[in-house]
Amino acid sequence: MKKIILFVFAFGVILYSFQSKKLIPKKPKLVVGIVIDQMRYDYLTRFADRYSENGFKRLLNDGFSLENAHYNLIPTYTAVGHASIYTGTPPSEHAIISNSWYDKFAKKSIYCVDDANYKTIGNESDEGKKSPYRMLTTTVTDQLHLAQNMRGKTIGIAIKDRSSILPAGHTANAAYWFSGGNYGQWISSSFYMEELPNWVNEFNASKKVDDYLSSPWETLYDISTYTQSIADNNEFEALYNGEQTPTFPHNIPALRKSNGNYSLIKAIPAGNSMTAEFAKAAIIGENLGKSEHTDFLAISFSSTDYVGHQYGPASVEIEDSYLRLDKDLADLFQTLDTEVGEGNYTIFLTADHAAVHVPAYLQSLKIPAHYFNGTAFKKHLTTITEKYFNSRTLIENVSNYQVFLNKKVLDSLGLEQNTVAQKIADEAISFDGIYKAVTARTLQTTHFSEGILNSLQNGYNQKYSGDVMLLPYPATLSYGRKGTSHGSGYSYDTHVPILFYGNGIQKGSSSKRYEIVDIAPTIANLLQIEAPNSTTGKIIEEVLK
């Protein structure tokens, strides 16, 4: 009897031990964060029947898709989006309030990652004088390094400097971006290193970029099959320098000289292909996912943004760009399978913002859409200050739909800042195109729990933002009538895909509303590390096994 009891007890211990190990999944050896610049959520659904099984559909079928994910902040720009994804908090905390903004202390416009304390690594340009120092919080990539006592590798890759630098965080081993013009090289900053690694030098020396620029951009498939797009020749799309119509094929070799030489690759799908190739070279060259520690690779595909700005969401060019990106992703995933091993890595894929349909196109369909005249609006503001305060110099700067007051002039005239700001807000909405106006004091003293004013509040940073914040009508651009842009808090700019896949991730989907700031704490929980130090997002429990 004792033998039977001992056998049962031993079996139970073994079974419990086995089940416990099953309940505690092994951490991924590599996390890959993928951000697609200017990707609307509906690009997943509009082009779904044309995607392969190994690109977007691999993540959709075998991962977890958040179908109602949004940015809960304004403005929806590249730097703001990337910072918010990786810090798990909006600009009110991380302080990246735009791509460029007016610095009310330095009295000049500044760029989000410029830093004169560092030099370019890779060529003689000034394009590498960059760092993430203006981002005042940690990222999930920083927290992973801290949790592993600075072991493991974190690398950022993107054509755009800000899209590489901000995700990689303050403690990154490296961040790389593309230097166009007459260089055609991947470069970095002395913030990270004193010289490029051999694998980067070898990639640059291979001149693969010339191969990408050596043939015309033609549609991947017969152009008659692009039924999700409007006619190829239309009045809503901008032209490359040297083109007569915005139509296929685009003769890239002939257009190269008049469109920035190597910089032209940024604005065609081949820029994404080159980025994917460089990312694969990084995986191999840095032996990512092969140590005892978890590595992090942050990749951003920038060319979709350039194409979107030029042609708009309804264009054949956008449809073709995403069909090509789908193939690039499939190749990247195959490299991860081969080099890291399926089941050893985790991916999340999202976008830094989406985009509005070209307003002129919407107007042609009798859908309300607008163009904002910034010059006329500045004159309107001067009229307001002259009428109510007898001064034409109260306003120091107007940019990013923000008004900055001149504090010295206010003091000299004995004017109270909040009184002037409120009068400007009250009168600004009489200008055609301004839909709402809110003062900084209102955003500091009133809590907006939902809606577009909540997004405006999340994007307001007390130290760096202006004195009056403005919201235009929906579907409004301060832009030419050809092509599109983004930046608002309306759903066409905020609704983006969020896909999770791989180690520790459930299969499925959810139509619940989630915010972009939820990604970082979710990945932190998966890795069992502390979330970024100003995180306001929540863990998406249904995503995790």
Q: Which of 78, 294, 346, 536 is catalytic?
A: 78
**Structural domains of the chain sorted by starting position, each given as residue range(s) with its CATH number in brackets:** 36-63+70-153+167-326+336-363+487-543 (3.40.720.10), 373-432+434-472 (3.30.1360.150)
pLDDT of residue 479: 84
Q: Which own/partner contact pairs does 50-57 have at CB distance under 8 Å and 24+ positions apart?
A: 50/221, 50/323, 50/326, 51/323, 51/326, 52/326, 52/327, 52/330, 54/330, 54/333, 54/334, 55/325, 55/326, 55/327, 55/328, 55/329, 55/330, 55/333, 56/326, 56/329, 56/499
Query: What's 544's DSSP letter?
Result: B
- Count of alpha carbons within 13 Å of 541, Cβ hemisphere only? 0
Distance (Å) of CA 297 to CA 238, 284, 304: 34, 12, 20
**Catalytic status, residue 245:** no
pLDDT of residue 26: 87
For the chain of 545 residues, list the mean pLDDT of each consecutive stretch of 10: 46 47 70 98 97 98 98 98 99 98 98 98 98 98 98 98 98 98 98 98 97 98 98 98 98 98 98 98 98 98 98 98 98 98 98 98 98 97 97 97 98 97 97 97 97 98 98 95 98 98 98 98 98 98 97
**399 vs 376: CA distance, rounded Å:** 13
Which pair of tokens denotes residue 420? 């002037």
Residue count of the chain, please give it: 545
pTM over 0.75: yes
Which pair of tokens denotes residue 183? 């260089």
Which pair of tokens denotes residue 66? 């958040």
